[in-house]
Amino acid sequence: MKASHFYISTLKEAPSDAEIISHKLMMRAGMIHRVAGGIYSYLPIGLRSIRKIETIVREEMNRAGAIELLMPAVQPAELWQESGRWKKYGPELLRLKDRNARNFVIGPTHEEVVTDIVRRQIKSYRQLPVNFYQIQTKFRDEIRPRFGVMRGREFIMKDAYSFDKDRASLAVSYKKMFDAYVRIFTRIGLEFRAVIADNGSIGGSESHEFHVIAETGEDAIAYCPTSDYAANIEKVDCIPLSNDRAAPMETLLKRATPGKAKCEAVAEYLGIPLERTVKSVVLATDVDGKIKIWLLMLRGDHHLNEIKANRISGLEEFRFASEVEIVEWFGTSSGYLGPIGTKRPMRVIADQTVANMSDFVIGANELNFHLTGVNWGRDLPEPEVYDIRNIVEGDPSPDGKGKIAMCRGIEVGHVFQLGTKYSDAMNATSLSETGKSQHIEMGCYGIGITRILGAAIEQNFDDRGIIWPETIAPFEVVLCPMHYDRSQSVRTVTNQLYEDLLNSGIDVILDDRGERPGVMFFDWELIGIPHRLIIGDRSLKEGKIEYQERRHTDTLFLEKGSAAQVVARKVKAAKKL
Amino acid sequence: MKASHFYISTLKEAPSDAEIISHKLMMRAGMIHRVAGGIYSYLPIGLRSIRKIETIVREEMNRAGAIELLMPAVQPAELWQESGRWKKYGPELLRLKDRNARNFVIGPTHEEVVTDIVRRQIKSYRQLPVNFYQIQTKFRDEIRPRFGVMRGREFIMKDAYSFDKDRASLAVSYKKMFDAYVRIFTRIGLEFRAVIADNGSIGGSESHEFHVIAETGEDAIAYCPTSDYAANIEKVDCIPLSNDRAAPMETLLKRATPGKAKCEAVAEYLGIPLERTVKSVVLATDVDGKIKIWLLMLRGDHHLNEIKANRISGLEEFRFASEVEIVEWFGTSSGYLGPIGTKRPMRVIADQTVANMSDFVIGANELNFHLTGVNWGRDLPEPEVYDIRNIVEGDPSPDGKGKIAMCRGIEVGHVFQLGTKYSDAMNATSLSETGKSQHIEMGCYGIGITRILGAAIEQNFDDRGIIWPETIAPFEVVLCPMHYDRSQSVRTVTNQLYEDLLNSGIDVILDDRGERPGVMFFDWELIGIPHRLIIGDRSLKEGKIEYQERRHTDTLFLEKGSAAQVVARKVKAAKKL
């Protein structure tokens, strides 16, 4: 490609609404153009990277035996009513009416549409397993679209749906997709982790998220550096920190803790470790119009995991108690609460770590007072015990193979075992070997194509701009000739390099715009082309061409005759071809 | 591809809502799956053909210097309000509100979005010309979606938009796109015609439609077999059939024509040629609440062209007069009307053919009576003269190079010179060479990707199914082995053929499903694969492989050793590679 036949449009400054680095750099590099909140046009530079991601995803999907089709963006409400999601999905589902006032949605996913295809086409186990995928435009009406393509409303996704005759076969289909995802992100060349995930609203059983590791990631990931364990923090089951409770050593005392409402302040004031304190989290539920209060007890340095709390019977729809409710049930306000001597009765739930503590500190249900030397059984009844906290750095890994470390990630892929959730609701069945009608076992598998762009940038940038991996760079090599229009020798050598690189199968752009060197370098460093050759009369006199990798600062001088070959070899090595 | 790893699902009968052959065959061949009225999923077989069409279109767009980008499906209403189309577009524009009750549309085209990109990015004539294109999903809320992909609501389109500094440059951009379209349809291998088109609602100046010729086409095309003239019948300017009016020979007579309300009946009753009669078409307009009646006069064998009538000043918003209005203005009802002796005054417009007639026949404004021997000037005032009729077979071609013939076509492409319609409305300007701010000249260029599928089938089918051109067939060659699972020699030869064809770059499918020969042949003839090799023990004994082209009925026997080479050569010749 010659730059004069292409569209390049860079900016010195990012627009003010761009909060994160990938959004800023994509705007500045002219990859995207904002159309409305969370809705972008992909400009030519951006689309090139998207197409390369799509190609890698498509190749690996095909290799894994998935079959491509294409489903519509606009879907009839009837299918969503059948599955139950018409009611459950909430305002992220963009609903609309056609000219005949019939209800439709713009699909955020396609479980309903693909299940409808399968239930009408598949009759027998002999037609199974089958896995359909598409690369298609989706819409999710985010309450606060932001971060450019990272949380847009309209986006491109690869979604695959597997159909199996039984759970064992589903597990095989799931594994194939899991392995394909590992290959995809490995091929793209991003640092990533497959983590055990919570299923969220899609439902089902086993599921993994694929995260690109980046400091700016929205999700916290707990992993074990000495094993392959990794999980979204929301999902990690904590192992009890000790197996027994020590015998009581202290007597119960009421101590003044003036103005010390936080565990940290109490520990410091009393001169004890934070790990000896216990915090009280007060939740409320409404049961047939009657309010019920729950006291959840966590060690002072731990945090409530709301998803785990949600799983406790009766707490499925909890909310945090109001200050008015707290005063009514405890007789005092937050900061000095505890299970001993409350004004009204309540359910007390202890985290499993708290349940094994002795001689601990809790609020006294009196302003500016705490109780020390508290012990289960002796000073208050044994509690109900659950795992209700988030795991923290240094905790034992749930697989028993080391200690937990933390990192942050950007979710770019997700694989689910859906089971028969949709095939039950929509009655998608097949005849088994014994002639019995069975609900088909489903899996679903998504990759955020456009989100990968943002995630790749969050992981690979510097103060000059983007640093693309070769696999998904808009171009692999840029040729920057000095005085292309005036120097015959520069033009001849540049054109020859261009032809040689093209013939080696390299995706090269020749900057023939006639811009000053400073402008050329600024543009291509911002856009992030991984390899740059500068062709100038000065180095040509010595038979050399200046070469720089975007990732490194040092400059190499390559022999004129072999420069194309050297660079082509580097590109192919990086792409593992 | 092996059929066992692919998804094939054919039907013996088409669903009852499929009215035309392409819709029936696409449903039967398992190319599409109906999701809602005019909304389809493209099943794997169908998607393969779509992708091949997209690839050809993309290659020719790139070759013509257009640059690919991708714009969103969901577009903010503000842009459509700026262009004025929010009001003008009518119910085909699918409108919706997001969760914040802001108005959006699902784009039926992208003039507004692309003009917004350009006005924000282009500052100077130096950045022009530029031509952006995309291949993208569109939505048009058709009042009566039908004919499968031929008139769907959600469909895939290639749309390109050119931006030029002046009209001369726009003409060059337009010509490039016109030539690219000719290459695209030539490469696909369809019989087509570029015809002069009416611009319809998009507005602007020069425009051509590209039609695939098919008897079932919705559009009537007038063309000249002895020149390259072709135009949508709506758009053809008629040349007057004679240049002078003959002198009157007859006297004006009132003749009884009992029950003869049609010109044909009158001509037969009076024993004169139909070409001597003149029909009266009565139109009405409302001017400030007052009804005005217009009498349009056409030769008995001619038909009103409403688009031409629309262009007459005062008739821009005409309707046909009601029977009540006709009686009020003429004193009698339809069938016996004419310009002589009306009850109330009206504007009389004669088609240019009628204006040169003498001694003609018109209604007498009295039930069961006509006037014969009518002559302009003598019996009634000279009329206003316009070209208001549709051209008919045998008329002189407007280019003066022969006589008009008629055919029917399916519109698959359209190129427009928009001029400054959108750049005026949305204020998209660039600085000229002299530093003056000028509105950018635009062109727009569409190809109905999914519609091409239907059009190709309407042109190429027989009673067994589809006959694809090699260029867009789901597969180019199918291998049908007899007893693939049982015969070692069949398996060996088939596998070798498969490898050889793949290595020759042929898109081949091996039918390893284990179906009976009858089922295999039925499926692949219905699906329309252009080349078929049958591998069976009987012919293998003689070193032969049975070969059939889908388009022909005769069977050839090819040498086992050279069969792959022969077939590969045929495929490449058909694709003009």
Q: What is the rounded distance in angstroms from the CA atom of residue B178 to the CA atom of residue A211?
A: 47
Question: 10 Å Cβ neighbour count for A357?
Answer: 23
Residues 457-496 of A with CB under 8 A from B: none
Question: Which residues of A are less than 8 Å from B94 in CB distance?
Answer: 74, 96, 98-99
Give the Å distances, CA to CA, from B331 to B260, B339, B402: 17, 12, 44
CATH number, domain B253-386? 3.90.960.10
The residues spanned by each domain of chain B are 14-189+418-458, 253-386, 475-574
Q: Are B187 and B471 in contact (CB under 8 A)?
A: yes
Whether the per-residue pLDDT at A232 is higher than 90: the answer is no
- Sheet strands (E) in A423-505: 429-431, 437-439, 441-448, 461-462, 465-466, 477-481
Q: Nearest 5°: phi and psi at A148?
A: 60, -130
Residues 18-57 of A with CB under 8 A from B: 33, 35-36, 39-44, 46-47, 50
For residue B119, the chain A residue with the least C-alpha distance is A33
| pTM summary value | 0.89
Q: Which of A164, A148, A186, A151 is nearest to A60 (CA)?
A: A186
Token pair for A535: 């062709």
Q: Is the pLDDT of residue B164 over 70?
A: yes
Q: How far apart are CA B418 and CA B167, in angstroms?
A: 10
Please spell the DSSP secondary structure of A64-98, one letter per residue.
Answer: TT-EE-B--SEEEHHHHHHHTHHHHSGGGSEEEE-
A548 within 8 A of A566, measured Cβ to Cβ: no
Stretch among A568-572, B153-157, B199-203, B567-571 having the lowest mean pLDDT: B199-203
Residue B34: CB atoms within 10 A of its CB come to: 18
So what's the pLDDT on residue A203?
45
Q: How far apart are CA A430 and CA A125, in angstroms?
A: 6
Q: Is the pLDDT of residue A243 over 90?
A: no
* Residue B173: closest CA among B366, B442, B382: B442
Residue A332 to residue A298: CA distance in whole angstroms: 19
Sort out which chain B residues have CB atoms less than 8 A from A39's CB and list them: 72, 74-76
- CB contact under 8 Å between B117 and A47, yes or no, is no
DSSP β-bridge partners for residue B134:
B159
In this prediction, residues B269-284 reach a mean pLDDT of 96
Q: How far apart are CA B570 and CA B506, in angstroms?
A: 11
Counting one residue from A and one from B, how many pairs have CB atoms under 8 Å apart?
Answer: 144
Q: pLDDT tens for residues A380-416?
A: 999 999 999 999 999 999 888 999 999 999 999 999 9
Rounded to whole angstroms, the Cα distance separating A363 from A9 reads: 61
Of the candidates A427, A72, A449, the residue with the CA atom closest to the CA atom of residue B46: A72
Closest residue of chain B to A135, computed from CA coordinates: B47
Which residue's structure tokens are 């003839």? B525
CA neighbor of A293 nearest in space, from A368, A362, A347, A374: A347
Quote the tokens at residue A13. 């400054």
Cα(A24)–Cα(A20) distance, rounded to whole angstroms? 6
Say if strands B441-448 and B154-164 run parallel, antiparallel, or are unpaired.
antiparallel
Taking CA atoms, B427 is separated from A224, B83, B168, B293, in Å, by 58, 10, 20, 41
- Among B44, B74, B92, whose Cβ lies nearest the Cβ of A106? B74
Smallest Cα–Cα separation from A393: which of A244, A236, A212? A236
User: Closest to B69 (Cβ–Cβ): which among A44, A67, A94?
Assistant: A44
Model confidence at A577: pLDDT above 80: no
* Model pLDDT for residues B351-402, shown as the tens digit of each residue: 999 999 999 999 999 999 999 999 999 999 999 999 999 999 999 998 889 9
**Bridge partners of residue B442, in order along the sequence:** B163, B419
From the list B70, B79, B154, the residue facing A42 with the nearest CB is B70
Residue A198: the pLDDT is: 61
Of A6, A92, A117, the CB nearest to B67: A6
CB atoms within 10 A of CB B495: 16
Please give the CATH superfamily to which domain A475-574 belongs: Anticodon-binding domain (3.40.50.800)
Which of A74, A117, A130 lies at the smallest CB-CB distance from B106?
A74
Quick one: DSSP state of residue B474? Answer: S
Domain B14-189+418-458 sits in which CATH superfamily?
Answer: Bira Bifunctional Protein; Domain 2 (3.30.930.10)
Interface membership of A1 toward B (CB under 8 Å): no
Query: Strand B74-76 relative to strand B465-466: parallel, antiparallel, unpaired?
Result: unpaired
Q: Work out the number of other CB atoms within 10 angstroms of the CB of residue A434.
A: 7
Task: Tell me which residue of A472, A453, A481 sits closest to A2, measured CA to CA.
Answer: A481
Contacts 24+ apart (CB under 8 A), B100-104: B102/B76, B102/B77, B103/B76, B103/B77, B104/A36, B104/B74, B104/B75, B104/B76, B104/B77
CA-based angle A545:A550:A556, to the nearest 5? 30
Q: Cis ω on the peptide bond leading into residue A129 (within 30° of 0)?
A: yes
Candidates B11, B26, B67: best to mutate against A (most CBs of A within 10 A) is B67
Q: What is the ipTM of this complex?
A: 0.88
Q: What is the DSSP string of A119-184?
A: HHH--BGGG--EEEEEEEEEE---SS-BTGGGB-SEEEEEEEEEEESSHHHHHHHHHHHHHHHHHH
Most B CBs within 10 Å, among A34, A93, A96, A110, to test the B interface = A96
Q: Give the strands of the sheet with B278-287, arranged side by side.
A: B319-320, B278-287, B290-299, B347-351, B384-386
Q: Report whether A490 contacts A537 (CB < 8 A).
A: yes
Residues of chain B neighbouring A35 (CB-CB closer than 8 A): 71-72, 75-76, 79, 113, 116
Q: Which residue of A has its CA nearest to B122?
A: A9
Give the helix/strand (H/E) hosting A567: helix A563-574
Average pLDDT rounded to a whole number, residues A523-549: 97
Per-residue pLDDT of B474-512, as tens digits, reads 999 999 999 999 999 999 999 999 999 999 999 999 999
Shortest Cα–Cα distance, A299 to chain B (Å): 41
Radius of gyration, alpha carbons of chain A:
30
What are the tens digits of pLDDT across the range B299-343? 999 999 999 999 999 999 899 999 999 999 999 999 999 999 999
| pLDDT bracket for residue B218 (50, 70, 90) | confident
What lies within 8 Å, CB to CB, of A39 at 6+ separation is A145, A152, A153, A154, B72, B74, B75, B76
Average pLDDT, chain A: 94
Q: How far is A268 from chain B (nearest CA, A)?
A: 48
Contacts of A38 in chain B (CB under 8 A): none
The reported pLDDT for the residue numbered A201 is 43
How far apart (Å, rounded) are the C-alpha atoms in residues A383 and B279?
99
Average pLDDT over residues A205-228: 90
Q: Does B76 touch chain A (CB under 8 A)?
A: yes
B-chain residues near A132 (CB < 8 A): 7, 44
How far is C-alpha A481 from the geometric centre of its chain's CA atoms? 41
Instruction: Write out pLDDT tens, residues A257-314.
Output: 999 999 999 999 999 999 999 999 999 999 888 999 999 999 999 999 999 999 999 9
**A529-552 as b/e, with b when 16 or more CB fall inside 10 Å?**
bbbbbbbbeebbeeebbbbbbbee
pLDDT at A442: 97
Q: Which of A7, A9, A36 has the CB atom closest to B76's CB atom? A: A36
Q: Would you state the structure tokens that stand for residue A98, as one six-digit string?
A: 């056609």
- CA–CA min distance A40, chain B (Å): 6
The overall longest dimension of chain A from CA atoms, in Å, is: 94
Assess whether pLDDT exceeds 80 at residue B204. Answer: no
Helix (H, G, I), strand (E, B) or coil at B139: strand
Of A133-147, A228-242, B329-343, B505-519, the range with the lowest mean pLDDT is A228-242
Given this model, what pLDDT does residue B198 score? 61
Question: Comparing A226-230, A471-475, B201-205, B232-236, which segment has the lowest mean pLDDT?
Answer: B201-205
Measured between alpha carbons, how far is A135 from A50 in angstroms, rounded to an integer?
11
Please write the tens of the pLDDT for every residue from A166-203: 999 999 999 999 999 999 999 999 999 999 886 444 44
Mutate to test the interface with A, among B31, B41, B42 (most CBs of A within 10 A): B41
Is the separation of the CB atoms in A278 and A300 below 8 Å? Answer: yes
Out of A36, A67, A139, closest to residue B44 by CB:
A67
In the three-class reduction of DSSP (H, G, I as helix; E, B as strand; rest coil), residue B294 is classed as: strand
Is A455 within 8 Å of A461 (Cβ atoms)? no
What SS3 state is found at A361? strand
Instruction: Tell whether domain A15-189+419-458 is in CATH 3.30.930.10.
Output: yes
Question: Which two tokens mark B486?
Answer: 């049982």
Of B520, B471, B475, B483, nearest in space to B502 by CA: B475
- Residue B243's pLDDT is what? 81
Calculate the dihedral angle through the C-alpha atoms of A524, A525, A530, A532, rounding to the nearest 10 degrees.
60
Q: Residue B200: is its pLDDT beyond 80?
A: no
How far is residue A418's CA from residue A167's CA, in Å, rounded to a whole number? 10
Residue with tokens 């300007």: B429
Tell me the shortest Cα–Cα distance from A131 to chain B, in angstroms: 10
